[in-house]
Amino acid sequence: MARLHELARLVRSKNAGPFQLTFDLLFDDRGTYEAVRDAGVVTPALFARLYGVTEEQVTLVAYDPALAIKATIPRPVASGDLADTDIFGAQLYGPLVELEIPGVEPAGAASNR
């Protein structure tokens, strides 16, 4: 079972304005992208659990032409607020990188056995 950081070319978070955060998962090849997209792991429930929002507050989009999955959630506090711990939202992707994706192996993994 692979972890997301082994499968995605890029896992990032950033502001989507002062009141929302967006997370991008970008892949190099269609097969890996589709396997992760279809694994049933990257869901609104996942983001709700990891980031303390409701599933209804999560917008999740798989964008096939770009081999990308994007999620947007409300920020817990506005960007720049005194209670804000990451003004750019750039360090909030951390919990996603070790996410296990069942049934998917990193490219080249089979040839390494």
32-76 tens-digit pLDDT: 999 999 999 999 999 999 999 999 999 999 999 999 999 999 999
Lowest mean pLDDT among 5-9, 17-21, 53-57, 108-112: 108-112
Query: What is the band of 1 on the pLDDT scale with cuts at 50, 70, 90?
Result: confident
Query: Sign (positive/negative) of CA torsion 49, 54, 55, 58?
Result: negative
pLDDT at 35: 96
For domain 1-76, give its CATH number from 3.30.70, 3.40.50, 1.10.3470, 1.10.730.
Answer: 3.30.70
